[in-house]
A and B are shown apart, each in its own frame.
Chain A
Amino acid sequence: MTLPSQLTDAFAEEWQRLAKPGATLDGAGRVEVAVTARAAYAGAATPEEPVHQAASTISASPASIREAWVEGIASEIGYPTYVEVAGVVARLTAVDTVHRALGLELMALPQPEPGEPTGEVDPDLRKTSAWVPMKAASVVYALGIVPAEMRAQEIMSGPLYMTYEAMDDPAHPGVITRAQKELVASRTSAINECFY
C-alpha cells in the first residue's frame, strides 16, 4: 500500500522546509525540535530547555497549554521562536499521524542544512485576543508573526484536507465527501478536546 503522489510530494516538501533554516532557528535547531516532539509523543519526559519544553508540550499535551505558560516560554525564547516551534511540531504531527494511521513506517527525519536563520518575522503584530501576536482572529493567520510558518501551514492543508479556497464550498468534491471529511475532522477535534 502506498500514498498518493499529492501526499508524498507534500511530505517531501515539508521535510525540505524542516531541514532548512527557519526564521529564528537554524536547520539543526528545527530538526532537534522534531526529534524532541517525536520523543514526547512516544512518552519521553518534558525537557527543561524552553524551546524543547515547547516542542514537547505542543506535541504530546497541547490541550494542557494555558496563556501563562505561553507567556513564560515566550519571555525566554520570544514569540517568533515559540510560533516557529509550534508550526514545525504541528506539521510533523500531521505527517506522522498519516503514517501511523495507515500502518506505514515513519519517515526518517532529514539531515539539517547549513545556514543562518532568515530573521523573517512580522515586527508589526501585537497581542490582542490570542496568546501570541496575530494579524486577525483566524486560525489561517495563527502563525502570522512568522510568515514562512503561516505559508507552510496553508501548503500542508491543501493535500491533507482541502485548500483554503475550497473551504468555502460545503459540497467540495473529493475521494471522500465533504460531510465525511468534516465528520472525521470533528471527531478528531473532540478527542483532542479542541474547540476547533
Chain B
Amino acid sequence: MLRESAAATSIPLDARAITDPSIDPLVPAGRSLLAFVDAALSGEDLSGTRANLAAELGWDGTVAAAAVIGNFEMMNRIADAIGMPVSPGGLARTEEWRALLGLDRFRH
C-alpha cells in the first residue's frame, strides 16, 4: 500500500528506509515518523522523539501516527496468531519489493 499511495499522491519515496534507518524515506516528516515508530515499540522513553514529531506534524498528526502504530500492532498479532497466508498473486505482485526490503526472511 505504501507504493500505491506514494504513486497516487506523487510523493517521492525511498522504501528502503523501512528496513534501513540510514536512508531518508523522502516522505514529509518521514525520518521523524520512523523514529517515532522505533521508539514507540522499543519500550523505552519516547518523549524526545514524540516532541520532534509533534514539532513537525502537531499533536493531531502525532496522535494519527500513534493510532496507525496501534492498528498494525493489532493486525500483526492477528496475522501471526492465525497464520495468515499470502496468496500466490500477492507474492507475485510484491516480488520486487520483497527483494528490495528483504521481507522474505519473515514467515508468510
Chain B residues near A94 (CB-CB < 8 A): 70-71, 73-74
Main secondary structure of the interface of B (DSSP, over half): helix
- The listed residue with most B CB atoms (<10 A of its CB), out of A63, A89, A101, is A101
Chain A residues near B80 (CB-CB < 8 A): 58, 62-63, 65, 192, 194
- The listed residue with most A CB atoms (<10 A of its CB), out of B7, B30, B33, B63, is B63
Chain B residues near A184 (CB-CB < 8 A): 33-34, 36-37, 65, 68-69, 72
Partner pick for A62 among B9, B40, B41, B81, CB 8 A cutoff: B81
Known: A98-B69, A170-B8, A171-B5. A142 touches B87 (CB 8 A): no
Interface residues of A in 140-196 (CB under 8 A from B): 142-143, 153, 156-157, 159-161, 167, 170-172, 174-196
Binding site for A on B (CB under 8 A): 1-2, 4-9, 11, 13, 15, 17-19, 25, 27-30, 33-34, 36-38, 40-41, 46-47, 50, 57, 59-87, 101, 103, 105-108
- 18 more CB-based (< 8 A) A-B contacts, given A86-B78, A157-B71: A58-B81, A90-B74, A90-B77, A93-B77, A97-B66, A98-B69, A139-B75, A156-B71, A170-B4, A178-B9, A180-B29, A187-B18, A187-B33, A188-B73, A190-B19, A191-B37, A195-B79, A196-B76
